[in-house]
Amino acid sequence: MKPAPFRYHRAASLEDAIATLASAGPDDDVRVIAGGQSLGPMLNLRLVRPTVLVDIHRIEALRAIEPLPDGGVRIGACVTHAQLEDLPPGGAFSAANPAVFPAGLADVLRHVAGGIAYRAIRCRGTIGGSLAHADPAADWPSALAALGATIELTGPAGRRNVAARDFCHGLFETAIEPGEVLAAILLPGSGIRRWGRGKHCRKAGEFAHALAVCIDRGGDGVEVWLGATGAAPVAIALDRAFVDGVAGSRASAALRRTRMRERIAASLPAAIAPGDAYARHLHAQVAAEAVIDAMANP
């Protein structure tokens, strides 16, 4: 189980990485590797066979978590899941940077990061790598879409931003153009009123079979984002009155979940697991749990 031969370049800087991508020949298949927790096994199984591998994980500039002037947060592409799992609750970014991390955002990031695979994988796997890889069953694509993140891409023509909700195009397909590197994830700092999450795995640490994140920012509607659908994350918009009605109902918990699940199932796109009643049930169930979980938060 060894990868097919490839040339390996460890990039010293983002510029170096972009230059290396740009210098690839017409017959080259260039892949960027960061933590290697998904790409590594795929290389070894020879499911991907790049001719050139550009390793960006030593680029210090991509490993920073920084405050943004608007109160948001910029997370470098090579920040590991473990770094986010270990964010101090409501604390400063770091000793050198006394700005306070937005508390609600930190809670969501900690929760999502801490649920990814196993600690050993979280110590090497990166948020940017996971997003760029765009495995639909991964945790970040739906979570970052729900959080309203913006993805910062850098290429030979400079920098451009793509909304996380438009970033994943399908199975292993993203908005990244040839020659571009995913450099950072930009997150809005305020506005999370309540949040909730649902996830179903057959065993701990496995890729999810159903995944949902609900971020409530107030307003007329509540959006729940579904992952692990086999393609790009999917948003289902729920009417505020309906959500409040279910959440505030005196019915039993089972009945409230059933009402929420049936409402979500009615909006579940037909393209998700067509013909598989259990998988479709599970997506609706897990999404309902995320919404109800969010509404139960103070």
Query: Does 3 sit near another protein (CB under 8 A)?
Result: yes
Query: Does 41 sit near another protein (CB under 8 A)?
Result: yes
Using the minimum distance from each CB to another protein, give the nearer residue, 88 or 205: 205
Using the minimum distance from each CB to another protein, give the nearer residue, 75 or 212: 212
Amino acid symbol at 185: I
Query: Does 4 sit near another protein (CB under 8 A)?
Result: yes
List the one residue from 204, 248, 266, 270 that touches another protein (CB under 8 A).
204
Query: Distance between CA 4 and CA 229 in Å, rounded?
Result: 30
Q: Which residue has the tokens 């604390």?
A: 91
Q: How far is the CB of 199 from another protein (least distance, A)?
A: 11
Q: Which long-range contacts (CB under 8 A, 24 or more apart) does 20-23 make?
A: 20/52, 20/54, 21/54, 21/155, 21/156, 21/178, 21/179, 21/180, 21/181, 22/156, 22/179
Q: How far is the CB of 65 from another protein (least distance, A)?
A: 29
Cα–Cα distances (Å) from 265 to 56, 148, 177, 246, in that order, read 41, 24, 35, 15
Query: Does 1 sit near another protein (CB under 8 A)?
Result: yes
Q: Which residue has the tokens 């199932």?
A: 265
Answer whether 159's CB lies under 8 Å from 153's CB: yes
Using the minimum distance from each CB to another protein, give the nearer residue, 40 or 221: 40
Answer whether 233's CB lies under 8 Å from 223's CB: no
Query: Distance between CA 280 and CA 42 in Å, rounded?
Result: 28
List the one residue from 69, 202, 220, 298 that touches another protein (CB under 8 A).
202
Query: Does 230 sit near another protein (CB under 8 A)?
Result: no
Contact code string over 271-290 relative to another protein, x by CB under 8 A = ------xx--xx--x-----
Using the minimum distance from each CB to another protein, give the nearer residue, 156 or 205: 205
Query: Does 296 sit near another protein (CB under 8 A)?
Result: no
- Token digits for 63? 């490993």
Using the minimum distance from each CB to another protein, give the nearer residue, 109 or 210: 210
Query: Distance between CA 95 and CA 75 in Å, rounded?
Result: 17
Using the minimum distance from each CB to another protein, give the nearer residue, 10 or 257: 257
- Token digits for 288? 């309902």
- Token digits for 176? 């990244």
Which range binds another protein by CB under 8 A, 11-19, 92-100, 152-160, 253-261? 253-261
Query: Does 253 sit near another protein (CB under 8 A)?
Result: yes
Query: Does 5 sit near another protein (CB under 8 A)?
Result: yes
- Token digits for 33? 């590797």
Query: Does 110 sit near another protein (CB under 8 A)?
Result: no
Residues in the chain: 298
Q: How far is the CB of 284 from another protein (least distance, A)?
A: 10
Q: Which spans of this chain sit near another protein (rule: CB under 8 A)?
A: 1-5, 41, 45-46, 200, 202-207, 252-255, 257, 277-278, 281-282, 285
